[in-house]
Structure 1
């Protein structure tokens, strides 16, 4: 990037302890968290609201520095270019040097995860517990087919400003729905069923694709070694 006359605005180190990507694999599950944040993500552990606000401000400033010309130098494409190729620009050079170009495409790990999830969704046991959850939610006054529909309700994600009565009402409704969501999951054993079904499919997929998955692991290990050498 320096050779092209640019300095890439690096993302600042994240505050606090990062939350697990699996924390909401089956939707909201923690009663204490939903009573405060509803379906919105709680801040990282150990981070105050003030710190989070400051981090958001810094990120906005960073993005403001990312002009079209800067982005094109990084990706090798302008904003009007479509496609998902990562071979261009300085990013492509870096991935090539680390041997990661092939991994940036859909790889065996991604495919295994997608297959496991799709098979779980289609499984009669998962569908049955979805129906039980939905019936439980209906009794509580909330009509949703499954937890993803509840979490994805557009009402919770409409951006607004100020502290109006309407926003407060929507926020209260979101929290009430999320609390009922968690209670119904506990009542019908939702997470246990989905985890059991998905784990069974995942193990079968892993067994059937051992070599492909091992190849991905070895490529990442190689990339980490090369990265360590580059950064010395």
Structure 2
């Protein structure tokens, strides 16, 4: 660029490497080529995929679906309600508003928050225990980044 070779990873990559200098090698702790944020997001995704397959979650979705049917709306899943092709306008119509109102009520009746919170807590703890080394390395990585940024700024 402007007669100079662009460094590997570009300017952002160089900056990130400078900030992380002296910190842990995340790949040595199981990051598999991912940066700190994406390594943690992958763990979160793994826990979430277990949550949605859990019998308590499936039962809660079934209860929500039955509640929605009683309210006059036939959706088997949250995604089916959310991605209904009828909801394509700029502004919600009466039908979409009625579904959203029933959805809010049925989520409460099915105890969506309670079920999801309990399962996420359980599986987040399990995934964290299985990947404690990586999570500790990520924490140390961010401590290093913040420390290096403070040094560079002073």
* Shorter-chain TM-score range: 0.7 to 0.9
The answer to whether 1:190 aligns with 2:112 is yes
Given the alignment, which residue of 44, 68, 78 partners 1:147? 78
> Match of 1:99?
20
> Match of 1:118?
49
Given the alignment, which residue of 122, 129, 150 partners 1:200? 122
Given the alignment, which residue of 89, 93, 98 partners 2:10? 89
Q: For residue 96 of structure 1, report the CA deviation from its aligned partner.
A: 1.4
**C-alpha distance in structure 2 between counterparts of 1:174 and 1:94, whole Å:** 47
Aligned pairs, how many? Answer: 140
Greater displacement, 173-182 / 122-131: 173-182
Q: TM-score, normalised by structure 2?
A: 0.76
Relative contact order (C-alpha < 8 Å, sep 6+): which is higher?
Answer: 2
Q: Which runs of 5+ in 1 are unaligned?
A: 6-72, 77-86, 161-166
CA contact (8 A) 1:129 1:188 kept: yes
CA contact (8 A) 2:60 2:110 kept: yes
**C-alpha distance in structure 1 between counterparts of 2:113 and 2:48, whole Å:** 14
Show the 5 A alignment for 1:3-152: 88-99=9-20, 103=35, 106-107=38-39, 109-152=40-83
Q: For residue 217 of structure 1, report the CA deviation from its aligned partner.
A: 0.9
Given the alignment, which residue of 166, 173, 180 partners 2:102? 180
Q: For residue 102 of structure 1, report the CA deviation from its aligned partner.
A: 5.3
CA contact (8 A) 1:103 1:216 kept: no
CA contact (8 A) 2:128 2:135 kept: yes
The structure-2 alpha-carbon separation of the partners of 1:226 and 1:192, relative to structure 1 and needing over 3 Å to count, comes to: same
Q: Which structure carries more helix by proportion? A: 2
CA contact (8 A) 2:47 2:120 kept: yes
CA contact (8 A) 1:98 1:227 kept: yes
The structure-2 alpha-carbon separation of the partners of 1:172 and 1:95, relative to structure 1 and needing over 3 Å to count, comes to: farther
